[in-house]
Amino acid sequence: MRILITGGAGFLGSHLAESLVNQGHTVICMDNLSTGKVENIAHLMGHERFAFIKYNVCDYVHVEGPLDAVMHFASPASPQDYLDMPIATLKVGGLGTHKVLGLAKAKGARFLLASTSEVYGDPLVNPQPESYWGNVSPISPRGVYDEAKRFAEAMTMAYHRYHGVDTRIVRIFNTFGPRMRPNDGRVVSNFIVQALQGKPLSVFGDGSQTRSFCYVDDLVRGILALLMISSDKTVEQRTDRKSFLTKQNGDQDSMHDPVNIGNPRELTVLDIAKLVLKLTKSSSEVSYHPLPADDPKVRRPDITRARTLLGWEPQVGLEDALQKTIEYFRAVLARPASI
Ligand code: NAD
Ligand code: UDP
């Protein structure tokens, strides 16, 4: 397949690009490098089946030649990044998603949207199944990301239903691993870097809020399974618009509906801090800071649908995954001017 990955120089995009190139596919990576780094894809540069285009996907997107798939991963992703870039976040979720859906339609390519567990907001249901509509404030600081992704999902479903584009939506839950930026502000990278540097681990609030962490290799395997699964209802839904109008809200009936991918092992933030201290053998203290506005109190994926539809579930245990990530950050911090 010839595949365009937007956001391909970022953490997840670069892992997807590498995996697809290794499987024999051709990858075009498009990225404006706002939070991504060329270093993430340096090992792919010069490969005959890899190309990089520095570009903002909010502008008219043109790609020479045929495309079999478009994977839309461009977006600031860590709370620190999207709170720093609120308007760019809304634009890439809105205008950017529209542009790349237009490209997928023009090329007859399959389209996969990187959505997020943040569409569930501060959930009142735990764990979260895909049928849960969420609890999101459109006007809170986090709303820029949550609403951009909710709009992107709506736009993706509209292109599927109205134009017959063969679409997929993955709702990604907290994922970590090598190539995260040491200073991206996410909890796992913050805690590991702080522990390795002997600084206090910055727990926000009392640390009782929960998250469920997936290792990047597991996530990539799940996303590629969703990308590759063949389509069933695309033509039927394009020719019978009435069928989607009469579909019951919340019905989940095809691979075009969103799929949660994440690890269902749920921990408190304080538990993660303790685990990082144990695995790094650090003697750092824990320091407490105010909880950011609208920080979700719980988060855990219901992965029944991924299990049934894709036969997917995570395989890498949390301790192993943290150990691999700790080794990565140890190496990064040993390099001069790494932060
Ligand atoms: P990242 O910041 O490492 O990667 C995002 C990439 O998008 C960066 O390389 C950035 O430069 C690029 N980008 C941003 N705006 C762009 C634009 N307008 N045009 C072109 N490129 C642009 O973040 P990530 O963790 O790799 O996240 C990738 C995707 O997965 C995002 O869409 C994010 O919302 C989603 N996601 C990630 C997680 C996670 O835990 N990592 C969880 C849920 C959803
Ligand atoms: N968090 C924390 N200390 C940090 C960074 C984050 O306690 O240094 C908390 C944050 O308040 C949230 C959880 O860890 O409850 C996960 O935060 P992250 O930014 O990784 O992602 P989120 O799940 O909020 O998008």
For ligand 2, atom 19, the nearest C-alpha belongs to 186
Cβ 321 under 6 angstroms from ligand 1: no
Average pLDDT over residues 269-298: 97
Q: Hey, where are the domains in the chain?
A: 2-179+214-263+300-315
For the CA of 38, the nearest ligand? 1
Tell me the CA–centroid distance for residue 187 and ligand 2, in Å. 5
Q: How far is Cα 59 from Cα 35, in angstroms, rounded to an integer?
A: 18
pLDDT bucket at 338, cuts 50 / 70 / 90: low
User: Any idea which ligand is nearest the CA of 200?
Assistant: 2
What pLDDT sits at residue 232?
A: 62
pLDDT value at 247 more than 80: no
Pocket test for ligand 2, best of 75, 208, 211, 270 (most atoms within 8 A of CB): 211
Distance CA 13, CA 24 (A): 17
- Burial zone of 294 (CB within 10 Å; 0-12 exposed, 13-18 middle, 19+ buried): middle
> Which CATH superfamily includes the segment(s) 2-179+214-263+300-315?
NAD(P)-binding Rossmann-like Domain (3.40.50.720)
Q: Which two tokens stand for residue 247?
A: 């579909």
Ligand closest to 81 (CA) is 1
- At 339, the pLDDT band (50, 70, 90 cuts) reads low
Q: Is the pLDDT of residue 250 over 50?
A: no
Query: Where are any strands of DSSP class E within the chain?
Result: 2-6, 26-31, 50-54, 69-72, 110-116, 167-172, 175-176, 201-204, 210-212, 214-215, 259-261, 266-268, 286-289
Nearest to 247 by CA among 59, 256, 6, 56: 256
Q: What is the mean pLDDT of residues 50-54?
A: 98
**Residue 251 confidence class, pLDDT cut points 50, 70, 90:** very low
317: CB partners within 8 A, 6+ apart: none
The rounded distance, in Å, linking the Cα atoms of 71 and 8 is 9
pLDDT tens-place string over residues 276-290 = 999 999 999 999 999
**pLDDT tens, 190-214?**
999 999 999 999 999 999 999 999 9
- The ipTM of this complex is 0.98
Residue with tokens 């990278």: 189
Separation between Cα atoms, residue 270 and residue 139, nearest integer Å:
29
CB 28 within 8 Å of CB 233: no
Query: How distant is the alpha carbon of residue 67 from its chain centre?
Result: 22
Please give the positions annotated as active site: 145
What number does the ligand 2 atom closest to the CA of 203 have? 7
73 in ligand 1 pocket by Cβ < 6 Å?
yes
Calpha distance 270→209 (Å, rounded): 8
Q: Is the pLDDT of residue 236 over 50?
A: no
Q: Whose CA is nearest to atom 29 of ligand 1?
A: 73
Provide the pLDDT confidence category of residue 336 given band limits of 50, 70 and 90: confident
- Rounded to the nearest integer, the mean pLDDT of the chain is 94
Distance in Å, CA 152 to ligand 1 centroid? 14
